[in-house]
Amino acid sequence: MVNFFIISYLLITLGIGFWASKRIKTSGDFTLAGKSLSTSLVGVTLFATWFGSSQIMGNPGYFILDGFSSYITLILSGGICLFIVGQFYARKLYRMNIVTINDFFRVRYNKKLEVFSSLIMVLSYPHWIAAQFVALAYLFNTVMGIPFNYGVFVGASIVVFYTYIGGMWAVAYTDMVQSIMILLGLFILLFEVLTETKGIAPIFSNQSKEFFDLTPHGGLEEWSAYIALLLAFIAGAIPVQEIYQRVFSAKNEKSARNGLFLGAILMILIPSIPLIIGLGGVYLHPELLNNGNSQDIIPALVKIMTSIPVQVLFYGAMISAILSTSSGAMLAPSTIIGENLIKPYAKNLSDKNLLLYTRLSVILVAAISCYFAFDDSDIVGLVEASLSLILVCLFAPFTFGLFWKKSSVTGAWSAILTGGLSWLFCYIYNTIIDPTIYGFVISCLTMVIGSILCPDKNNAK
């Protein structure tokens, strides 16, 4: 019965994608939904894009083991990031009338930086998407008994289909439906767990005093990992394309900004629910921690505690969350490939062919992501890896270029190359302090030094 309803839900999702495809007439419709999204759609699609596998399957395990210090790094950080973008970045970038973040690098610096930053951005996404494929595979295995490897391909195929045909319109509409499913599933399971535990107080009264600390308990290594996660999930996420794909899809500047604030609120409130569910589940069934896979706690809990109708609803909600994140993350690099790596260099490229190449890029990105899904099955680790590369290479030239008039082309190149190479060097030699911290600090310093020593001619004048 569960399998039947899950398959039916997946078919409905594909149907929504097919229906949305009828609105796709131009490449602008595919990438930015014709710049017509309202505040609520911007906020909900931002939430749905970021509320995925790590929030439902990865974060509860970390919260159970590390307590409220992980709440700061894994939950609060997402809301802070969206608030910062809404308060400081959105207005300036929306007025530039661009399609991708990498368009900014062309307008602010030059075409070479546009291409190089596009390659970095595209390379960062397969890890993020792979995390969603891994989560879908775990879920299909738990619910339907599908082997992990086949589950990766099944999940990838579903996301590719409705993203390929419907683009940003399909992502927006399916995100709205999927968000409703997510909320229903989470609230019902939360009610079931709290009924069994007789409220929220017994769950937290059972924890040690250290569980409530907001900072790490250990020494330098623990603090290093803590700071690196904060940097990755706040600063590293600021330049990512999937945020601005929704900002640029808004019907006006006000809708874009308010949508970011709505997304920030949702990203703090809703992801807190799986943490309580996971903690309550382990309180009721301590054996859930004995299987060695903390990412499987909530799917296993649903199977143990709930009736068939609730299982159907919740598994549908989990699949919804992961599908929405996958589609949004897949559309972002595909748009960059079409707009920044193909369009500027293809002579006499018609809009119809640009639309085709962008759609084909969806398939390419999915294929690469499948490779990473097989190579590394740590969901939160995959997400962190994708954001670290953007943080150490692109945050400094993006942020300084937007707010500091003296930012120069030389400074931007210095930030990208020194930040990336120092991060790679520290990663290879496994430094005690996290490589992300070294890369971030060096990137920002060289951005300033390079811009002062080698100013652009226009700035010098």
Which range among 24-28, 82-86, 202-206 shows the weakest confidence by mean pLDDT? 24-28
Number of domains in the chain: 2
What per-residue confidence (pLDDT) applies to 139? 76
92 φ/ψ angles, rounded to the nearest 5 degrees:
-60, -45
CA atoms of 126 and 366, how far apart (whole Å): 8
What per-residue confidence (pLDDT) applies to 239? 92
| Amino acid at site 275 | L
| Same domain, yes or no: 284 and 345 | yes
What per-residue confidence (pLDDT) applies to 384? 60
Predicted confidence band of residue 292 (pLDDT cuts 50, 70, 90): low
Q: Average pLDDT of 318-347?
A: 84
Please name the residues in contact with 1: beta carbons below 8 A apart, sequence gap of 6 or more: 308, 312
Question: Is 194 a member of any domain?
Answer: yes
pLDDT averaged over every residue in the chain = 85
Question: Is 395 a member of any domain?
Answer: no
Predicted confidence band of residue 437 (pLDDT cuts 50, 70, 90): very high
What are the structure tokens assigned to 294, written together?
A: 């903390």
Look at residue 402 and tell me whether its pLDDT is greater than 60: yes
Question: Is 398 a member of any domain?
Answer: no
What per-residue confidence (pLDDT) applies to 293? 57
Q: Average pLDDT of 239-243?
A: 89
CA atoms of 376 and 382, how far apart (whole Å): 7
Under a CB-based contact definition with an 8 Å cutoff, are residues 170 and 327 in contact? yes
Q: Average pLDDT of 183-190?
A: 84
Q: Average pLDDT of 84-111?
A: 94
CA atoms of 132 and 372, how far apart (whole Å): 11
Q: Average pLDDT of 404-424?
A: 95
Q: pTM of the full predicted structure?
A: 0.83
Q: Which structural domain range is residue 413 located in?
A: 404-461
Q: Which of 20, 72, 424 is nearest to 216 (CA)?
A: 72
- Who has greater pLDDT, 291 or 243? 243
Question: Is 352 a member of any domain?
Answer: yes
Q: Which of 366, 381, 396 is the last residue of a domain?
A: 381
| Amino acid at site 232 | A
What per-residue confidence (pLDDT) applies to 461? 41
What per-residue confidence (pLDDT) applies to 162? 77
Total residue length of the chain: 461
Which range among 147-156, 366-375, 377-386, 422-431 shows the weakest confidence by mean pLDDT? 377-386
Q: Which of 381, 412, 430 is the last residue of a domain?
A: 381
| Same domain, yes or no: 416 and 357 | no
| Same domain, yes or no: 141 and 26 | yes
What per-residue confidence (pLDDT) applies to 53? 64
Under a CB-based contact definition with an 8 Å cutoff, are residues 341 and 117 in contact? no
| Most confident stretch, 16-30, 55-69, 88-102, 358-372 | 88-102
| Same domain, yes or no: 317 and 224 | yes
Q: Which of 348, 277, 336, 264 is nearest to 75 (CA)?
A: 264
| Same domain, yes or no: 418 and 273 | no
Q: Average pLDDT of 343-372?
A: 88
| Same domain, yes or no: 327 and 418 | no
| Same domain, yes or no: 367 and 409 | no
What per-residue confidence (pLDDT) applies to 208? 85
Could you tell me the CATH number of the domain that includes residue 18?
1.20.1730.10
Question: Is 389 a member of any domain?
Answer: no
Question: Is 417 a member of any domain?
Answer: yes
| Same domain, yes or no: 105 and 241 | yes
What per-residue confidence (pLDDT) applies to 8? 80
Predicted confidence band of residue 235 (pLDDT cuts 50, 70, 90): very high
| Same domain, yes or no: 340 and 414 | no
CA atoms of 276 and 71, how far apart (whole Å): 11
Look at residue 446 and tell me whether its pLDDT is greater than 90: yes
Render pLDDT for 6-48 as a digit per residue (tens, 0 to 9): 778 778 877 877 777 777 878 878 887 778 889 998 998 888 8
Look at residue 330 and tell me whether its pLDDT is greater than 80: yes
CA 6 to mean position of chain CA atoms: 24
H/E run at residue 391: helix 379-403
Q: Which of 76, 50, 379, 70 is nearest to 226 (CA)?
A: 70
**How many percent of the chain have pLDDT more than 70?**
94
Look at residue 95 and tell me whether its pLDDT is greater than 90: yes
Question: Is 212 a member of any domain?
Answer: yes
What per-residue confidence (pLDDT) applies to 1? 64
| Most confident stretch, 8-22, 204-218, 329-343 | 329-343
Q: Average pLDDT of 140-162?
A: 83
What per-residue confidence (pLDDT) applies to 418? 96
Q: Which of 348, 381, 414 is the last residue of a domain?
A: 381
| Same domain, yes or no: 416 and 372 | no
What are the structure tokens assigned to 369, written together?
A: 């992501």
What per-residue confidence (pLDDT) applies to 309? 78
Look at residue 397 and tell me whether its pLDDT is greater than 80: yes
Look at residue 324 and tell me whether its pLDDT is greater than 90: no
Q: Average pLDDT of 272-296?
A: 79
| Same domain, yes or no: 284 and 433 | no
Question: Is 281 a member of any domain?
Answer: yes
| Same domain, yes or no: 62 and 122 | yes
